Amino acid sequence: MALVPHAAQAATGYPDPRPITGQQIIHDPTVARLKSGGYVAYSTGGIIGARLSKDGRQWDDAGNAFAEPPSWWYEYNDTADPWAPDLSYRDGTYWLYYAVSSWGSNHSAIGVATSKSGRPGTWTDHGKVFTSERTDTFNAIDPAIVRADGRLWMSFGSYWTGIRMVELDPSTGKAEAGATVHHLATRPDAPYAVEGPYIVKHGRHYYLFASHDACCSGVNSTYKIKVGRSTSVTGPYTDSTGTPLLEGGGDLVLEGHGRYIGTGGQSVFRDKGEDWLAYHYYDAEDDGTPKLGLNVLRWTKNGWPVAR
């Protein structure tokens, strides 16, 4: 991506997102550079809302991933409203994971669809990957895929004691039968406000990014992005002080500053040898409208990510 980090720094030391034009409104973005050229971003909103860009600067509305909601979505949401997609590529196929649920409930499901091009309107849905019920202590939303040592894993979770992980069958993209539900991160006190995990490999470590505190309240949102790392994809994850993420640890990567309120719903993507952080923020100069934030991630000598 021909992206140049925005040099201006806020007084707090957190960087502003790089300037973009066109359709900036987005929530919970997942971004990728397509094999065919250009970029796509999918998000919460619509039937998995889509944006396309030729250069990563000008973004255009591209409709939705699906023309119609798969019928099974209505089991979890009266309006078939999907949340927090995750886009990945492996074995010549794009995989789009997403969640369907309703606010304040862990009667939730994660689904998956595939496409050869990754473009909106080309997706075939394959149904449920993993589910949670009201009797569970976790919430099956906010999926994110990572490969580790030849195996495929999905992190997920929101409140309900935090971030979890299950192993997937690479052939189907769905949870292994009887898969162990690993526990990766939580907060010390209810409501355990951590969600939206995303894991990337850098060097010998796996890095777990997660959104802490509250989203979805416009300029009153308190979302912030934190990170911890582990030499094993299933943890334990700790921050730079050694505090476990299972005990509320996490180094701040990005939080609200200036007009950019409630930074979170993040994902990470590679482009031309660099890691980029994609997230939404609530624009204090536009009535708290959620918009796309993009910042390059640099890595310190000690191996910690820093947004630039």
CB atoms within 10 A of CB 60: 12
Q: What's the mean per-residue pLDDT of the chain? A: 95
165-195 as b/e: b if 16+ CB within 10 A: bbbbeeeebbbeeebebbbbbbbeeeebbbb
Residue 167 Cα to chain centre, angstroms? 18
CA distance 247 to 32: 32
Domain ranges of the chain: 21-307
Left (φ > 0), alpha (ψ -120 to 50) or beta: where does 165 sit? beta
Catalytic residues: 28, 195
Tens digit of each residue's pLDDT (9 = 90 or more) over 50-64: 999 999 999 999 999
At 114 the three-state DSSP class reads strand
Q: Which of 199, 226, 232 is nearest to 213 (CA)?
A: 226
- Under the banding of pLDDT at 50, 70 and 90, the label for residue 168 is very high
Smallest CA-to-CA distance from 282 within 248, 257, 252 is with 257
pLDDT band at 13 (very low <50, low <70, confident <90, very high): confident
CA distance 220 to 158: 19
CATH topology assigned to domain 21-307: Tachylectin-2; Chain A (2.115.10)
What's the pLDDT at 7? 34
- Give the whole-angstrom CA distance, residue 19 versus residue 3: 10
* pLDDT (average), residues 284-291: 98
Instruction: Please tell me the predicted confidence (pLDDT) of residue 165.
Output: 98
